[in-house]
């Protein structure tokens, strides 16, 4: 039986440490404060009895739970990240514990009238009668991915305390900077030494994912010409008007708020503009590689068309690929997904096998030689004030980790 209170205490101790990553930093980790939790995790792994515990100069943490069987078993891994997104503040997190949730509105912050309501977030109704951890409405919670960290730590603690559960060698890996797309950049796959791994970085209970977006970032720069407005006729070029033309030329319904499942999108997430210069920042996402390439081509073609109309080179587009769909690396070793699915079914958890509308460390790790499907960590509404996680979902995630280890040891590979 998983110790519910110990899990709650561990999770709260992690989320109250600020580990927000910084996309404007070139260091690894990108923020010094990520070290605060990284060092604690390394010390806790050592204290619980894990072996080969290491923390490198970039705050990547690895540890080993040795095999307790005589026969050869593949080395598997479990990976999570300890940074939180810079999209919304993770400083001074004040978790709130709602026990025996009644299915109604949850008042996050009475003074500011911030309410987590099932009328808007209907997933809440799945967890009636359970214990839910929320924010106080002024910060994110950090279940992405401190829930995953908690679950891996609790699973290792449980396996150490229960040697009657037979398992092969297990590697644990904790990473910085996943939220800014760098979580796997300096991950030493060879040192990790696992044949495959699982990221504990999904959302609702039952999620099992081995497909993710192909992803790129695009910066569109429009150069204008500023002149005194009283003398501007035939001389001024207002970059903001050209930017509006560019934005409106992209398919309006192919945006995050209008798409689902495997549908791709263009997402404009930042505008910085004036008459003289406007910059648009986009992310481009698509599960299909051909569609992904077509989206990039469309953005470049639109710039060319506007430049032709204006008879001058005023619009430029810079596109950088970020990560790719892990499906092509996981499908040749689908038994690793089958094991996770078998583990969930053995625990009476309905597997929800679906594509990730995002990316995880696992997508990059898969292309680095470590096939790495993604498993639920339990949280909902990541990256904002309405984030929450049911404690029972975290407990089930711990059980899934344990069961995967047990099933892997029983397989003949």
DSSP 79-134: EEE--B-TTS--TT---EEE-S--SS-EEEETTTTEEE-TTT-GGGGGGTTS-EEE
Q: How confident is the model at residue 70, as a pLDDT?
A: 94
Does the annotation mark 348 as catalytic? no
The average pLDDT across 122-128 equals 97
Mean pLDDT across 355-376? 91
Give Cα separations from 72 to 75, 167, 272, 370 (angstroms).
9, 10, 57, 19
| Residue among 113, 141, 177, 22 nearest 391 (CA) | 141
| DSSP SS3 for 177 | coil
Closest among 196, 155, 150, 187 to 28, alpha carbons compared: 187
pLDDT band at 359 (very low <50, low <70, confident <90, very high): confident
Cβ atoms 365, 323 nearer than 8 A: no
Structure confidence by residue, pLDDT tens digits, 279-329: 999 999 999 999 999 999 999 999 999 999 999 999 999 999 988 999 999
Tokens coding 228: 């005194």
Is 211 marked active-site? Answer: no
**356: pLDDT strictly greater than 90:** no
User: Tokens representing 110?
Assistant: 């009475």
Cα 22 to Cα 12, 179, 184, distances in angstroms? 23, 9, 16
The position carrying tokens 């039986």 is 1
Average of per-residue pLDDT values in the chain: 96
The pLDDT assigned to 114 comes to 97
- Is it the case that residue 224 has pLDDT exceeding 80? yes
> Given this model, what pLDDT does residue 361 score?
87
Is residue 386 pLDDT above 70, yes or no?
yes
Residue 53 contacts residue 46 (beta carbons within 8 Å):
yes
Segment 145-171 mean pLDDT:
98
Q: pTM for the full model?
A: 0.89
CB-count burial class (<10 Å; 0-12, 13-18, 19+) for 261: exposed
With a pLDDT cut of 90, the percent of the chain lying above it is 94
pLDDT for 413 equals 66
pLDDT exceeds cutoff 80 at 202: yes
Contacts (Cβ under 8 Å, ≥6 apart) of 70: none
Catalytic residue among 20, 136, 178, 211: 178
Nearest CA-CA partner of 146 in 34, 222, 232? 34
What pLDDT, on a 0 to 100 scale, did the predictor assign at position 181?
85
Domains, the chain: 4-212+325-410 (3.40.630.10), 214-323 (3.30.70.360)
Hey, what are 74's tokens?
């593949």
Taking the CB of residue 123, how many other CB atoms lie within 10 A of it?
A: 13
Of 22, 83, 136, 145, the catalytic one is: 83
What does the pLDDT read at residue 199?
Answer: 97
CA angle 266–271–274, rounded 5-degree value: 140
Question: What's the Cα-to-Cα distance from 400 to each of 125, 334, 370, rounded to whole Å?
Answer: 23, 18, 20
CB 197 within 8 A of CB 78: yes
Neighbouring CB atoms inside 10 A of 154's CB total 23
Mode of pairing for the β-strands spanning 132-134 and 96-98: antiparallel
> Is the per-residue pLDDT at 179 higher than 90?
yes
């Amino acid at each position: 039986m998983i110790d519910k209170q110990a899990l709650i205490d561990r999770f709260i101790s992690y989320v109250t440490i600020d580990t927000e990553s910084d996309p404007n930093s070139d260091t690894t980790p990108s923020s010094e404060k990520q070290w605060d939790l990284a060092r604690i995790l390394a010390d806790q792994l050592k204290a619980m009895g894990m072996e080969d515990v290491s923390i490198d100069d970039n705050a990547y943490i690895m540890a080993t739970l040795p095999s307790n069987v005589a026969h050869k078993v593949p080395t598997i891994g479990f990976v999570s990240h300890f940074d939180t997104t810079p999209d919304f503040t993770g400083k001074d997190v004040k978790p709130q514990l709602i026990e025996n949730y009644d299915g109604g509105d949850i008042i996050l912050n009475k003074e500011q009238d911030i309410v987590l309501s099932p009328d808007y977030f209907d997933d809440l109704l799945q967890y009636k009668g359970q214990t839910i951890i929320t924010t106080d409405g002024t910060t994110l919670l950090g279940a992405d991915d401190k829930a995953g960290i908690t679950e891996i730590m609790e699973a290792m603690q449980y396996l150490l305390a229960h040697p009657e559960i037979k398992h092969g060698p297990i590697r644990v890996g904790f990473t910085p900077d996943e939220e800014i797309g760098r979580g796997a950049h300096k991950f030493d796959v060879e040192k990790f030494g696992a044949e495959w791994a699982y990221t504990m970085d999904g959302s609702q209970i039952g999620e099992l994912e081995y497909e993710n977006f192909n992803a790129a970032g695009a910066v569109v720069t429009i150069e204008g010409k500023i002149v005194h407005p009283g003398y501007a006729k035939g001389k001024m070029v207002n970059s903001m008007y050209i930017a509006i033309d560019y934005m409106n030329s992209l398919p309006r319904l192919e945006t995050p708020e209008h798409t689902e499942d495997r549908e791709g999108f263009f997402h404009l997430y930042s505008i910085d503009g004036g008459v003289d210069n406007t910059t648009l920042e986009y992310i481009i996402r698509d599960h299909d590689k051909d569609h992904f390439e077509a989206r990039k081509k469309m953005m470049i073609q639109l710039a060319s068309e506007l430049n032709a109309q204006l008879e001058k080179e005023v619009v430029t587009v810079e596109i950088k690929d970020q990560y790719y769909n892990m499906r092509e690396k996981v499908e040749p070793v689908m038994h690793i997904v089958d094991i996770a699915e078998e583990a969930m079914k053995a625990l009476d958890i309905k597997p929800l096998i679906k594509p990730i509308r995002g990316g995880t460390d696992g997508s990059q790790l898969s292309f680095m030689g470590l096939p790495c499907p993604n498993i639920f960590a339990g949280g909902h509404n990541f990256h904002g004030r309405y984030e929450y996680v049911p404690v029972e979902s975290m407990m089930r995630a711990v059980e899934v980790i344990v069961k995967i280890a047990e099933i892997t040891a029983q397989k003949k590979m």
